[in-house]
Structure 1
Amino acid sequence: MNLIKVIFMDYIKGRGAQHNTHNKFLQHSHEVLDDFLNYCAAENEDADQNKTAYLEIFPKTIVNKVTSPDIGASFSMNPYQGCEHGCIYCYARNSHEYWGYSAGLDFERKILYKKNAAELLEKKLRGKNWEAIPIMLSGNTDCYQPIEKKLEITREILKVLLKLKHPVGIITKNALILRDLDLLKELASLNLLKVNISITSLSEQTRRILEPRTATIKKRLETVKILSENNIPVNVMMAPIIPAINNHEILPLVKKVSELGAKSVAYTVVRLNGAIGEIFKKWVEKTYPDRAEKILHQIEDCHNGTLNESRYGVRMKGEGKFAEQIAMQFKLARKLYLKDKKIPEFDCTIFDKFQTNQMSLF
């Protein structure tokens, strides 16, 4: 029993989730038996290799209609399913169950990629019924997660958007976005781009715990600065606010990103729907054993006594006294540091699906 206890208490480095939850869509479940763990320990072998697998999939479409009234976008596209960043709180974890995987470790270690995404996008935008409506890249998982450095799917998507002069919003927490600065500058010069950089904390220690494989806080702050210096409008997402972990950083974080050129900030309050509740609870008990109960109770205080909140209109901001305090802090922060700043509107009038403004060769 001692061997088993040691194995279970070991922290899986570089990962957010510390186990795989059962997939609610599957009849059977996978269980690691004590005999196997004891055997691995006796043989000095790893029970889990903790490696990431990249699997190509072949979708027929890439643009998704967004029906949630809480999301400020009508359409989104996701070149990747699953995300190696491993953010423990990520709402997208539940979507991995639709692919037959767990919302836990599988979400971080089974990455599905859509190599034909740019081709599908161009086909969609050139359709006779498509009119220019801003598309969010991505609405689910990060389009600049580590494998993008090799595959360059997001870069190819941006090339299509620039060629057809179509508006796009980007949300990421990876400094890899700066690789595509050439394309971003051209899109921004035509008012076709808004960039959202996700920064949940100014503490590198907190970042490593919450978001193990994301860019460092220093890199993300540099990204805000460089994008802003190149006239690319930046909104910073402090998402999510997690009570007793990062809620005390609202004012200093907004002040810092404003000084670096960000034009606006937005936030969400953490919500733990579906399998995320189980994943987060086990993680917080392992990571913050001294205050796990406090964190969970304060999250419940933001969602009418439950960790699970799905109601439109309140799920993103929460309710109750604690949620009100968060909202008041952001209101004050915007008044102090972002009073005269504003994100420009998209220009949807120059979309050119047939490239009629290109000079003919004949």
Structure 2
Amino acid sequence: MTIESIPAPAAPARSSRGGSDFAELSRRVTRAGLLDRRPGYYTARIALVGGLLAVGWGAFFALGDSWLQLLVAVFLAVVFAQIALLSHDLAHRQVFRTRRPSEIAGRIAGNLGIGMSYGWWMDKHTRHHANPNHEELDPDVAPDLLVWSKEQAEKSRGLSRVIGRWQAYLFFPLLTLEGINLHVSGVRALLRPSLKRRWLEGGLLFAHFAAYLGALFLVLPPGKALAFLAVHQGLFGVYLGCTFAPNHKGMPTLKEGEELDFLRKQVLTSRNVRGGWVVDAALGGLNYQIEHHLFPSMPTPNLRRAQPIVRDYCAELGIPYLESGLIDSYAQALRHMHAVGAPIRTSAAAPVGG
């Protein structure tokens, strides 16, 4: 799907109230106090996630050599994903208003806690927020193993061409590798001179790897250690992938030369997910993806309160605002992935030599 398939907005990018359309929305959100810090919420959330991490590792050492450790692996996969979501909030300065405490806490949670490079992820995610679903500028829709548009499919080569043919069916199995991919990408980023505080990033990353692998292979025999590793890292990747996949996959994409104002760029390329407090907790508030992209520094618990303001304002301007159920959001993403892989399937089915 491209941006041309979206109906033209009913209002221009400049508001009759003065300033851009987004400026008026920002005034409404600010007046409602929704950009204010929520220290009590984040204190409780950090304490809860930290406590669950301690419980998980405590159970690991208490159980020792037992196949019941696979249940601990499942539990810790959920906890690691929640730490990743907390690192996301830290990176957006939802917890602390200034950069330094955000970076310190982010590196402790990300690099040391779960083996994910805070600096690498921050750079990648910042570029995504600046240009969501832009095929040339958003790293999240860059053609790698998967393709996100028919044009990317037509140009695909090698492994991405093999996988792209049936990528909708392979998507969830491939997510089992996402946890390992986060670790590998963080280590590879250490080779880039542009990565800030590389020695600190690397030191914390390798401290995590040493402690994590050391615990597994000191407490468990090799077979059980490898089984724990596979279950833990596989489910960690699936959880993270399922958290981020509903947000933009299958939404309109932008190409070079296509320009939208900030409000429309963020709303038209994002999808919200319904589901109540259970979905809010499981997805770390990222189910309010439209509000999050419009106001990245807004504390997570305020996103739910901002939603009716943003939705009503989009209705005033005639801007489509998409909200789906959780399962339906995955179905939309998978249908899109299957559709954009059509050129590869057609090319593979075409007779050789005409």
State whether TM-score is above 0.5.
no
TM (normalized to structure 1)?
A: 0.28
Identify, as 1 or 2, the structure richer in strand.
1
Identify, as 1 or 2, the structure richer in helix.
2
TM (normalized to structure 2)?
A: 0.29
Higher RCO, Cα 8 Å, sep 6+: 2
